[in-house]
Homo-oligomer: A and B are copies of this chain.
Amino acid sequence: MAIGVSTPRLENREKVTGRILYTINLELPGMLHARVLRSPIAHGRVRRIDADRAEALPGVRCVLTRDDLRRGDIDPYFGPVIRDQPILAIDKVRYAGDAVAAVAADTEQIAEEALRLIDVEYEELTPLLDPLDATRESAPLIHESLHPAEVGYADIKSMHIASGRRNSAGHFKLRRGDVEAGFRAAAVVVEDEYYVPAVQHAALEPHAVLAQVHADGRIEVWSCTQNPSVVREQLASVFRTPLSLVRVVAPYVGGGYGAKTYAKLEPLAVALARKAERPVRLIASREDVFYIVARHAVRTRLKTGVAADGRLVARQAELFFDKGAYADIGPRTSKNGGYSSGGPYLIPNLRLDSYAIYTNKTPGGAYRGFGVPQVCWAYEQQMDQIAERLGVDPLELRLRNVLGEGDAFATGEILHAVPIREALLRAAEAIRWSEPPAAASHRARGKGLACMIKSTMTPTVSSATVKMEEDGSATVLTGTVEIGQGSDTVLAQMAADVLAVPVGRIHVVHSDTAVTPYDQSTSSSRSTFSMGNAVRQAAGEVRDQLVALAAHQLEIAPQDVALADGYAFPKGAPARRVAYAQIFRGHFGMGVGSLMGRGLFKTDGGLDPETGQGKASAFWFSGAGACEVEVDTETGAVTVLKYVGVVNAGKVINPLLAKGQIEGSIVCALGHTFFEEMVYREGALVNPNFMDYRLPTAYETPRELEVILLEDGHRDGPYGAIGVGEPAVAPVAPAVANALARATGVRILDLPITPEKVLAGLRERPLAGTGREGRR
């Protein structure tokens, strides 16, 4: 049995010996190196670009500017929802860091030097740095016109991009029940505003692309992308090439967390390779990465009405996603944040509005949790604020309202396999919720908890092929990207289980659009569920063929054939076993050949654009977190003594990998909780590097970090499994904030929770057992 076993990652040895190849390691004969010139100003018209001196520099092979993009032979704009992002600035620059020109040269150093020889003349425009400013009638338009993407995302196209607000890149609305009536009926109404700043994904591997355009126009791209199929569609659209002639390969990817979804540097690298008629490798510097994509800053206005018995009766939410300069997948992120802002609670009356508003900053894109951590930061603090107002225990308040099996979600759909109640109880138990924290001089302690619910990408498509060789070993062809999450291993485990061979005899070929069948994306924690189903189905097709051949050879009925460990035998008579290799020999002329199986998994869904009612998700992630914190009341420093993350996995395919993902989620979220923030001054990002932008280290990891995996199986999941990559992120910051408030009375509503903010809060109010109201 290969399922439920902590199989070591298949690529372990390759990784620890340093021999594995990432995109940045790839080389092609005659390859050039590229660098990108970025705008120093946040908003302006491009008056003139003079690249003559750069082109004359020895070793420079190609300088690309807007002149190369306006010839009509390509469409220079791309974007998965709105085609608003030019490969290089054409008429305007829209943020400090916007790409203006690029150079391909014999070395990266020459390319870098050439950038300094490009003269660009700008006419500065007023930069819009806050969504609320950007929606004002007097604000300039960042995009004068918008065009929807040609491919995919039909559900987004039906959304109102135009919200009636200026500089809108999306407006999701959900209407359920009668919110005004709900508020009127409520005993208590709590209202507040919460803020989460833009943060970086900080994958160790920067964005990197190796592009080649063949003499016949065929495009080949190696990229550390999370969704090669979508990038292929985007490149096909930009370069007007049939999909079959665009190949996108994702080698092993060194982390993504959403930053590597949808086209980023790929169109630029291809445009350079096309002009240079040479392969071009473009590796982002760390500073570049800060300009490529960020997690959306979100401002959430949340108002909740509660009955005297603690039941939530109404909620109104207004979310402002700071889109940055280009839409990227933001309209969909803000939609996801929108319908999730009711939280994992039964609230009969909802009025949720989520706006994505263009600003002159680094574009916001997908990030682990896809809009949910930002709204969870709001709704889970508000739950504690309500509990405080009502004088009930925060756990008790949650248990009174939490959604469960068979309940309707905000979108109206019926939930299944969402053990949030159990998650809360397990988290509370692990943190000894009912026991008061130990007190110490100048060291206030408190416990806090939070829970969450999240959708997955819906509708969605995954497909896979399985090929069994004549020695019974097998290859899985999957579009899933091995991004460090262990997907190769988990999918191999499933194939091994179905085919009844050891995992070591399975090889996984991942994410090469020329050869792996379609997969939508390695994101949204969807691979174990969607691709797992596709792989099981594909392996099942091979198994069926194998069983039929074995039945023929054993002269028994197919239903009487058993498979185990590379052998087929009559059920109950393992001594009569025949090796798979022998079955192949019996079938194929010379004992050689392969058996092929196909798998396709797809889900339907969609929401009504006026009411947000319908089906948002094929399944739901859920989980909870709880922690105990210690606050140094002299410095404001907050230490997490213990953190417990509880996640429903449906079924744990590989305990080691699942726990690793959740531990990673928690540590990642502690960074957001305590210090990560992209800081802008006068439109310019001031900390685009890992000296000024801090990441959590082992030092900030709680000494006690406990992971609890629930196995409330989903009826559509492979072995009941869903995914575990994201649900542990969202509860971390609100659980810590709730613990801080319970320890000190200080409620921080805007992330990160810095010692300065804590100290300021402590100065406003003397040390108290519980906080009452927030500080912003």
Contacts and interface: CB of A to CB of B under 8 A. Distances in A.
A671 B465 CA distance: 47
Interface string A495-532: 00000000011110100101111101000000000000
A661 interface: no
A438 B506 CA distance: 70
Contact of A461 (B216, B512, B518, B590): B590
Interface string A725-737: 0000000000000
Nearest to A14: B215
A469 B506 contact: no
Contacts of A155: 590
Interface stretch (A103-111, A121-129, A600-608): A600-608
Contacts of A516: 515
Q: Which of A11, A215, A458, A589 has the most CB of B within 10 A?
A: A589
Nearest to A603: B589
Interface string A455-471: 00011110101010111
Nearest to A216: B13
Given A242-B505, A243-B470, A504-B242, A600 B589 contact: no
A602 to B, nearest CB: 5
A543 interface: no
A505 B475 contact: no
A10 B596 contact: no
B26 A26 contact: no
Contacts of A506: 244
A588 interface: yes
Nearest to A587: B602
Contacts of A507: 218, 242, 244-245, 247, 514
Interface string A1-42: 000000000111110110101000111110000000000000
B151 A216 contact: no
Contacts of A459: 588-590
Nearest to A10: B216
Nearest to A602: B589
Contacts of A515: 475, 477, 509, 512, 515-516
A591 interface: yes
Contacts of A16: 215
A79 to B, nearest CB: 16
A556 interface: no
A92 B229 CA distance: 54
Interface residues of A, number: 74
A488 B355 CA distance: 51
A244 B589 contact: no
A596 B463 contact: yes
A154 B590 CA distance: 6
A592 interface: yes
Assembly of this chain: how many copies?
A: 2
A503 to B, nearest CB: 11
B244 A592 contact: no
A116 interface: no
Given A459-B590, A515-B512, A243 B603 contact: no
A517 B233 CA distance: 26
A70 to B, nearest CB: 25
Nearest to A515: B515
A542 to B, nearest CB: 11
A593 B21 CA distance: 28
Contact of A236 (B218, B236, B471, B589): B471
B593 A461 contact: yes
Contacts of A651: none
A472 B10 CA distance: 35
Contact of A593 (B458, B470, B473, B600): B600
A471 B242 contact: yes
A693 interface: no
Contacts of A265: none
A152 interface: yes
A514 B594 CA distance: 11
A591 B152 contact: yes
Given A13-B215, A29-B21, A592-B461, A473 B242 contact: yes
Q: Which of A469, A474, A514, A591 has the most CB of B within 10 A?
A: A469
8 contacts: A17-B215, A19-B215, A230-B592, A245-B507, A460-B590, A475-B514, A520-B592, A596-B598
Given A13-B215, A459-B590, A463-B593, 20 more contacts: A14-B216, A16-B215, A21-B29, A25-B29, A151-B591, A218-B507, A243-B469, A244-B469, A244-B505, A244-B506, A244-B507, A245-B473, A459-B589, A460-B589, A461-B592, A467-B517, A475-B515, A593-B600, A596-B598, A596-B600
Which A-B residue pairs are the 9 nearest by beta carbons? A459-B589, A242-B473, A244-B473, A243-B469, A515-B515, A13-B215, A518-B594, A244-B507, A17-B215
